[in-house]
Amino acid sequence: MNALPVSQRPFAARESKNAIEEGAAFAPKFGADGLIPAMAVDADSGAPLMLAYMNEESLRQTLEAGQAVYWSRSRNEIWHKGLTSGEFQDVEEILTDCDQDALVLRVRQRGGGCCHTKRATCFYRRVVVDEAAESPTVQLAPSSLVE
Amino acid sequence: MNALPVSQRPFAARESKNAIEEGAAFAPKFGADGLIPAMAVDADSGAPLMLAYMNEESLRQTLEAGQAVYWSRSRNEIWHKGLTSGEFQDVEEILTDCDQDALVLRVRQRGGGCCHTKRATCFYRRVVVDEAAESPTVQLAPSSLVE
């Protein structure tokens, strides 16, 4: 048994490209701003819910809590989603990509919904290109993935 | 009929919060680095394929081509995925989120797969927390969303 709680254990160092892509070490890459993007999707349907960011501390807290803990770029602070709204995201699984610079969180969304607009997902609109329009527009997405 | 090709039409200005969240204008927000994250998912299953970035020009080219055109941060250039590998992503739909600072591309992946490791998706691994281990590890993801 490791003496340190999960929230205090270091992530692995980023060794060779091969180790990052094929090895067993979890060595997430945080950007120049100290953040890694995390896409939350519904654990059952795979529907996209939201895209947010984590710093090292919030990722460690996510692993320990089993709930999504992000870094709020607007408030510049740790953001345990749901603490004020009740809209917690219970994390079923965290996926990482080949170069370990992005995360996908398969979550079960609690409460009224993921989005602060009270919708089930933040991705409620699709981009539409109308040949006659000056610029592309958005409209509510009929996609079955969103409903 | 608009005189400008899609790839040259401006995006709408970002007006009020309400206009961005509820209006008809597509007004994507590019970060300080000029980029917006774009998550590509399988158009049918919703399985996550890859997370990449677009600058304004590559997003316009995506809308015009109907295929994913990213900005390569490593090569610092426009990256029309598939031009060299044949692994094009035909775009079925582009979703944007409440504050329009992230995109989801529902795509049909052509060729051998999405990932340069020859896998169908870049998100082929899950993060595992072992109480006995010093650090979290990764293992091949059995998730049905990935297979």
* Domain harbouring B101, CATH code: 3.10.20.810
Q: Is A29 buried (19+), middle (13-18) or exposed (0-12) by CB count in 10 A? A: middle
* Number of independent structural domains in chain B: 1
pLDDT of residue B2: 62
Tokens linked to A81 = 């989603």
Taking CA–CA distances from B47, the nearest residue in chain A reads: A46
d(CA B101, CA B118): 30
Model confidence pLDDT, tens digit, residues A103-144: 999 999 999 899 999 999 999 999 999 888 889 999 999 754
Give ∠ CA B129-B138-B110 in degrees, rounded to 5. 140
Interface check A65 vs B, CB under 8 A: no
Q: Name residues whose C-beta falls within 8 Å of residue A33's C-beta, 6 or more positions apart in sequence.
A: none
Return the bridge partners of A23, or none. Answer: none
Let me know if residue B16 belongs to a domain: no
Measured between CA atoms, the residue of chain A closest to residue B64 is A129
Look at B5 and A94; give whichever has higher pLDDT: A94
CA–CA distance, B79 with B94 (Å, rounded to integer): 18
| pLDDT recorded at residue B147 | 44
CA–chain centroid gap for B120, Å, is 15
Q: What is the mean pLDDT of residues A74-78?
A: 97
B124, amino acid identity: Y
Among A7-16, A25-34, A37-46, A79-88, which stretch is predicted with the lowest mean pLDDT?
A: A7-16
Which segments in chain B show pLDDT lower than 50?
144-147
pLDDT score at A9: 83
The answer on pLDDT for A27 being more than 70 is yes
Q: Is A66 on the interface with B (CB under 8 A)?
A: no
**Mutation site for A-interface testing, chosen from B54, B99, B145 by largest number of A Cβ within 10 Å:** B145
List strand residue ranges (DSSP E) for A59-114, in order: 69-72, 77-80, 89-96, 103-109
End-to-end distance of chain A based on CA atoms, in angstroms? 43
Residue B1 domain flag: no
- Contact status of B25 with chain A (Cβ, < 8 Å): yes
Closest Cα partner for B144 from A123, A93, A26, A38? A93
* pLDDT tens digits, B4-34: 887 788 899 999 999 999 999 999 999 999 9
Name the residue range of residue A111's domain: 36-122
Q: pLDDT value at position B112?
A: 85
Question: Could you give the CA distance from residue B14 to residue A33 in angstroms, rounded to a whole number?
Answer: 24
A76-91 average pLDDT score: 96
Alpha carbon separation from B23 to A147, B26, B97, B99 (Å, rounded): 20, 8, 12, 11
Helix (H, G, I), strand (E, B) or coil at A22: helix
Q: How confident is the model at residue A2 (pLDDT cuts 50, 70, 90)?
A: low
- What is the DSSP pairing of strand A69-72 with strand A48-54? unpaired
Q: Is residue B8 part of a domain?
A: no
What burial letters (b/e) apply to B68-80, b meaning 16+ CB within 10 Å?
A: bbbbeeeeeeebb
Q: Which B positions 76-135 lie with beta carbon below 8 A of chain A?
A: 93-98, 100, 102-104, 106, 115-117, 119, 122-129, 131-135
Rounded to 10 degrees, what is the CA torsion of B4, B79, A35, B51?
Answer: 90
Q: For position A123, what pLDDT does the model report?
A: 97
Q: What pTM was estimated for this model as a whole?
A: 0.94
Give domain status of residue A95, yes or no: yes
Alpha-carbon distance B59 to B68, whole Å? Answer: 8
Q: What percent of chain A has pLDDT over 90?
A: 85
Q: Which residue of B26, B119, B135 is in closest CB contact with A138?
A: B26
